[in-house]
Amino acid sequence: MKPVSKLLLLSLLFVLPGVFAQTPQAIPDPPAVAAKGYLLIDFNSGQILAEKNADERLEPASLTKIMTGYVVFRELAAGKIALGDQVLISERAWRTGGSKMFVEVGKQVSIQDLLMGMIVQSGNDASVALAEHVAGSVEAFADLMNANAQRLGMTNSHFTNPHGLPDPELYITARDIALVAMAIVREFPEFYGWYSTREFTFNEITQHNRNPLLRRDESADGIKTGYTQAAGYCLVSSAKRNDMRLISVVMGSPTPNARADASLALMNYGFRYYESHLLYPADEPVESFRVWKGDQEWLPVGPVSDVFATFPRGRYAELAARLEKAEANLTAPIASGTPVGEVIVTFDGAEINRLPLIGLAGIEKGNLWQIARDSVLGLFQSQ
């Protein structure tokens, strides 16, 4: 195998020409914000930049609707429902308390309007109508929410309804809700744009998006506010500046202004003191691994998804990468897409990212001569 570490380090140097001209700076502690729990994460790399009580179970209020939206988007993507489908509004949906888009019992409303009513107007009535249409009942829809939460790795969350009104068995963590927020941005860009809609009119009633960052930060484009007396004021926000996107989760702030100030302070901290870069695109070769007893000797390998690194500004020199093979000797046949190792990114000697490496081509079993030759070479290699 070729000398991997030298190859990778040299390729990193060419990703960001001139980066060494920056002067390293000390990273201050994250800002002190008024919240029971918070999390600041880089969307591309998954690197946590700041957190407090991120794994504490807290009441989500209307942050619950982020998961509701995700479940509905998956149903749309699977072709099980369509945006134009008409939903008959039940008495249960109409009677649901809290924030409303003001649907009327017995009327029909499109799924698209209900989604806009939930996303922009935070309509609890819209959330119930969507849940009943997708799953038949609120309770069955909650089962879908929990199944998707488990699939996304939200191990400390549990859902009982689609709107977030208080329930003893309804809870999330800041870390978990960030996972589903990032999943929406990543999986459903065609729907994510709705989260930056400033206002929506339904039934001749115009309501404005409750997200204050849409008015205070031009780079912000989502995602959702929440409030109940028990949960306090909550906000999951997302912003993109240049090629860097950050997600912040603020839960349990004492006032609406406090949650907005906390979210903006965390965003400004992350963008000011950190940078994020694509190191290796998905499905592009970064090295070739020797394969034994195959019709080809070398297998091009690359990451299964884009490899990003997020690190303090001006400290690129402390970034390094290496490859690790899954097995000492790879033996044919190997199908294209087979995991064959990992790419590991470190900063200042500490691991910050790790992604699977896959074979970018298929190698068939060799002929008798190729197998015999490699068997002999293998004997010498093992001595």
Supply the CATH number for residue 327's domain: 2.60.410.10
The reply to whether 78 and 15 lie within a common domain is: no
Q: How many CB atoms lie within 10 A of CB 20?
A: 12
Give the burial string for 335-358 (b: 16+ CB within 10 Å, else e). Answer: eeebebbbbbbbbeeeebbebebb
271 in a structural domain: no
Half-sphere exposure of 323 (CA within 13 A, CB side): 28
Q: What is the pTM of this model?
A: 0.89
The reply to whether 100 and 178 lie within a common domain is: yes
Average pLDDT of the segment spanning 118-134: 98
The reply to whether 302 and 378 lie within a common domain is: yes
318 in a structural domain: yes
Average pLDDT of the segment spanning 15-44: 77
Kindly indicate the confidence band of residue 368, based on its pLDDT and cuts at 50, 70 and 90. confident
The reply to whether 76 and 13 lie within a common domain is: no
The reply to whether 134 and 86 lie within a common domain is: yes
Q: Above 90 in pLDDT, residue 380?
A: no
Q: What are the tokens at 136?
A: 């038949």
Q: Above 80 in pLDDT, residue 12?
A: no
312 in a structural domain: yes
Which of left, alpha, beta for 341 (phi over 0: left; psi -120 to 50: alpha)?
left
Mean pLDDT estimate for the chain: 91
Identify the pLDDT of residue 167.
97
Task: Please name the helix (run of DSSP H) or strand (run of DSSP E) that holds residue 307, with its range, or none.
Answer: strand 307-312
The reply to whether 200 and 245 lie within a common domain is: yes
Kindly indicate the confidence band of residue 20, based on its pLDDT and cuts at 50, 70 and 90. very low
268 in a structural domain: no
Task: Please name the helix (run of DSSP H) or strand (run of DSSP E) that holds residue 275, with its range, or none.
Answer: strand 274-280
Identify the pLDDT of residue 130.
98
230 in a structural domain: yes
Q: What is the pLDDT of residues 335-360, one digit of tens each?
A: 999 999 999 999 999 999 999 999 99
Identify the pLDDT of residue 24.
59
Kindly indicate the confidence band of residue 13, based on its pLDDT and cuts at 50, 70 and 90. very low
The reply to whether 232 and 362 lie within a common domain is: no
Task: Tell me, yes or no, if 122 is annotated catalytic.
Answer: yes
CATH number at residue 220: 3.40.710.10
202 in a structural domain: yes
Average pLDDT of the segment spanning 246-255: 98
Q: Above 70 in pLDDT, residue 17?
A: no
Establish whether 224 is an annotated binding residue. Answer: yes
Identify the pLDDT of residue 1.
38
258 in a structural domain: no
The reply to whether 74 and 175 lie within a common domain is: yes
The reply to whether 286 and 371 lie within a common domain is: yes
Identify the pLDDT of residue 283.
85
Please, what sign has the CA dihedral across residues 350, 356, 359, 364?
positive
Q: Above 80 in pLDDT, residue 376?
A: no
The reply to whether 185 and 317 lie within a common domain is: no
Q: How many domains does the chain have?
A: 2
The reply to whether 221 and 336 lie within a common domain is: no
Identify the pLDDT of residue 26.
78
Task: Tell me, yes or no, if 253 is annotated catalytic.
Answer: no
Q: Quick one: which of 99, 113, 222 has its CA closest to 165?
A: 99
- Catalytic option among 36, 45, 65, 99: 65
Identify the pLDDT of residue 332.
86
The reply to whether 75 and 159 lie within a common domain is: yes
- Catalytic option among 45, 99, 122, 157: 122
Q: What is the pLDDT of residues 291-330, one digit of tens each?
A: 888 899 999 999 999 999 999 999 999 999 999 999 888 8
Task: Tell me, yes or no, if 62 is annotated catalytic.
Answer: yes
Identify the pLDDT of residue 378.
66
Average pLDDT of the segment spanning 131-148: 98
Q: What is the pLDDT of residues 58-115, one digit of tens each?
A: 999 999 999 999 999 999 999 999 999 999 999 999 999 999 999 999 999 999 999 9
Identify the pLDDT of residue 323.
94
Give dist(CA 98, CA 313) in Å, integer: 44
149 in a structural domain: yes
Kindly indicate the confidence band of residue 170, based on its pLDDT and cuts at 50, 70 and 90. very high
Kindly indicate the confidence band of residue 4, based on its pLDDT and cuts at 50, 70 and 90. very low
Domain holding 361, by residue range, is 4-19+279-382
